[in-house]
Copies of this chain bind each other. A is one copy, B any other.
Amino acid sequence: MINVGIIGGSGYTGVELLRLLLPRNDVHVSFISSRANADTRVDAMFSSLRGFTDLSFSDPENIVASDCDLVFFATPNGTAMNQAPALLKQGVKVVDLSADYRIKDVAVWEKWYGMTHTSPELIDQAVYGLPEIHRAQVASANLVANPGCYPTTVQLGFMPLLENDLVDAGSLIADAKSGVTGAGRGANVATLLAEAGDNFKAYGVAGHRHLPEIEQGLNQMTSQDVSLTFAPHLLPMIRGIHSTLYARLKKPTDLQALFEERYKDEFFVDVLPAGVFPETRSVRGTNMCRLSVCQPQDRDTVVVMSVEDNLVKGAAGQAVQNMNLMLGLDETAGLALPAMLP
């Protein structure tokens, strides 16, 4: 039996980790911490879990993580960088769902996140947990930086094009749309149903923290200098990200074959048949990313559509996928269920 712990579990990624882990027979959740909700039963906050656990939230001061095989950080940015070092020294593997170890250039990280990094020495050994690129490194990692929600869809969508140097990397565009769970479970006027419901708008177009993370990833795929225009939008729905990607083709290619070939062995990336476009509900609750590629009017702009559930492949599901790899389990364990549709 594998023992895992969850630090910072009262948000949406915390409950989502529990939804994915509690039904498993091979994994035991030892603790889930939340300072604000210490001693509250988890199923009193999330009634969906009634019957699946007797856990209460632990005060972070009282947790004993040393006998865990792996710990997830589902904390706000700036927490894991303080607590991960001690865990790693104790031999506990770490998957950090926050952004603390995603950016390799610490100066860039500090600029975008407005903090001084307290464990910069770990950044190099942290593996960026996008298994479709870094599977081998994840499997041998002790510390995995779980990718952001938008970055997962954008990187998987551009990857076949950039790896094969087929598009102009200097003028990429990602028009991304996310459900409101991307904003977390905090009390917030902007994501009230009365504000975000029956409404649609862009935000963060002038500069969003996921921009440097995405550009770092894309730069690793090509020798060109990458420049991305990234425009996130807020969808009036709960889960799901749809990224629509635009790039200028440099030469004619069989795009459909390219994408199918690139992802033919990837369980969690599904290239749709030509002419079929993905919809977010087709991945709701699952760890899938579904992709389509097309070339409208046979002109030189290629359009890629990429969908995921932001709480699963965009957060907790990918974290479990990484955990499976790090612990030598079947990569798809606990993650191979169809989406709930409708």
Identify the A interface with B (CB < 8 A): 12, 15, 18-19, 22-23, 46-52, 171, 173, 175, 177, 179-181, 183, 185-189, 191-203, 205-207, 211, 227, 229-231, 233, 235-240, 242, 244, 246, 248, 267, 270, 272, 275-286, 288, 290, 294, 296-297, 299-301, 303, 305, 307, 336-342
- For residue A285, give the distance in angstroms from its CB to the closest CB of chain B: 5
Specify which chain B residues have a CB less than 8 angstroms from the CB of A339 in the assembled complex: 48
- 28 inter-chain pairs at a CB distance below 8 angstroms, sorted by A residue, are A47-B279, A48-B282, A48-B340, A48-B341, A49-B338, A50-B270, A50-B282, A175-B244, A179-B194, A180-B192, A187-B192, A191-B193, A193-B238, A195-B342, A197-B198, A199-B281, A200-B279, A201-B242, A201-B279, A205-B303, A206-B294, A207-B297, A227-B299, A229-B301, A231-B296, A231-B303, A235-B235, A285-B285
Copies of the chain in the assembly: 4
| Nearest chain B residue, comparing its CB with the CB of A281 | B199
Known contacts A173-B246, A202-B305, A284-B340; is-contact A47 B278 (Cβ 8 Å): yes
Contact in complex: A194, B185 (CB < 8 Å): yes
Contact in complex: A246, B244 (CB < 8 Å): no
| Nearest chain B residue, comparing its CB with the CB of A272 | B47
Specify which chain B residues have a CB less than 8 angstroms from the CB of A336 in the assembled complex: 23
Specify which chain B residues have a CB less than 8 angstroms from the CB of A299 in the assembled complex: 227, 229
Contact in complex: A244, B227 (CB < 8 Å): no
Contact in complex: A340, B19 (CB < 8 Å): yes
A285 and B284 CA atoms in complex are apart in Å by: 11
A270 and B12 CA atoms in complex are apart in Å by: 23
A179 and B194 CA atoms in complex are apart in Å by: 8
Known contacts A231-B303, A237-B236; is-contact A280 B194 (Cβ 8 Å): no
| Nearest chain B residue, comparing its CB with the CB of A298 | B206
Contact in complex: A12, B244 (CB < 8 Å): no
Specify which chain B residues have a CB less than 8 angstroms from the CB of A177 in the assembled complex: 177, 200, 233
A339 and B23 CA atoms in complex are apart in Å by: 11
Specify which chain B residues have a CB less than 8 angstroms from the CB of A340 in the assembled complex: 19, 48, 284-285, 340
Specify which chain B residues have a CB less than 8 angstroms from the CB of A246 in the assembled complex: 173, 175, 229, 246
Known contacts A19-B338, A47-B290; is-contact A196 B199 (Cβ 8 Å): no
Contact in complex: A242, B342 (CB < 8 Å): no
Specify which chain B residues have a CB less than 8 angstroms from the CB of A207 in the assembled complex: 296-297
Specify which chain B residues have a CB less than 8 angstroms from the CB of A270 in the assembled complex: 50-51
Specify which chain B residues have a CB less than 8 angstroms from the CB of A197 in the assembled complex: 180, 193, 197-198, 237-238
| Nearest chain B residue, comparing its CB with the CB of A300 | B171
A205 and B187 CA atoms in complex are apart in Å by: 24
Q: What 5 pairs between A and B have smallest CB-CB spacing?
A: A201-B279, A48-B339, A48-B341, A187-B187, A47-B282
